[in-house]
A = this chain, B = another copy of it.
Amino acid sequence: MDDRKQNLMLAALPRKERERLDPFLKWVEVDLEETLIEPNEPISFVFFPYDSVTSTIQEMQDGASIETGLMGVEGMIGIQLWLQMRTTPSRTLVQVAGHGHRMEAADFIREVRDTNSPLNEFIARYTHAFLTMTSIAAACNRLHTLDQRMCRWLKLIHNRVRRDEFQMRQEFMAQMLGVQRPTVSTTANMLQQAGLITYTRGQMKVLDSEGLTEGACGCYEMMEREMDRIYEVPWRELARREDQKNR
């Protein structure tokens, strides 16, 4: 354990188990828009984000794409390996660059999935929360307007990066939200004029986090509430504690 910054799942482990897994965990950096899981290709590692945010997207035959779930410090990338599958049709990519711990697939299967590691229970609960997030997204994508969805989405990211500024191009946002780029432009401008955010050339800054919550549909709270059930304490509180340790 040469570094103290870590994902909440790892932080939640008993010290002994955390030390046992340490040799298999490698602290790495991930880049903006880098693909972590390629559709229908073998998943070669799992990843525990710390200050990076990643996103699962569905790509259609016609080239359109849309985000269906998003994970950060509270979760894990690669639950498919835990579910006995080596590939998945979804793509997982980096939405906000940052760091995290990486574990090779073989190590994960041997040292975690096929053992009685307490990590398994967290992964099970996270899988439930992620399924719920995806399910709510399915409803939200159909039933709510773009400004509501954009507010929800920015809040989810903001909670996970835990800083007010991050890179975010409109073209990328359009792909995530499943709309045209000009539509993003119009809607983002509304939020900007309402004083909720500012941005220029890919630099997004959250000015009024509370305002974003108000602008978002109830889906935002439903999603985070379910994520809070993974641990015994709401995950944002846990993340705050981790951040403080590293000051």
Contacts and interface: CB of A to CB of B under 8 A. Distances in A.
Nearest to A58: B139
A60 B152 CA distance: 15
A204 interface: no
A80 interface: yes
B90 A178 contact: no
Given A134-B138, A178-B139, A125 B85 contact: yes
A147 to B, nearest CB: 15
Contacts of A127: 83, 127, 131
Interface stretch (A64-72, A100-108, A165-173, A184-192): A64-72
Given A132-B90, A142-B141, A142-B178, A218 B61 contact: yes
A130 B132 CA distance: 11
B83 A143 contact: no
A163 interface: no
B89 A143 contact: no
Contact of A56 (B58, B84, B135, B229): B135
Nearest to A65: B139
A225 B89 CA distance: 10
Nearest to A135: B68
Interface residues of A, number: 42
Contacts of A68: 134-136, 138-139
A58 B140 CA distance: 9
A60 B148 CA distance: 14
Given A137-B138, A138-B138, A226-B89, A64 B143 contact: yes
A134 to B, nearest CB: 5
Given A85-B229, A127-B127, 19 more contacts: A60-B139, A60-B218, A61-B218, A64-B143, A66-B142, A68-B136, A68-B139, A80-B128, A83-B124, A84-B121, A88-B132, A89-B222, A89-B226, A90-B132, A90-B135, A131-B134, A134-B138, A138-B138, A139-B178
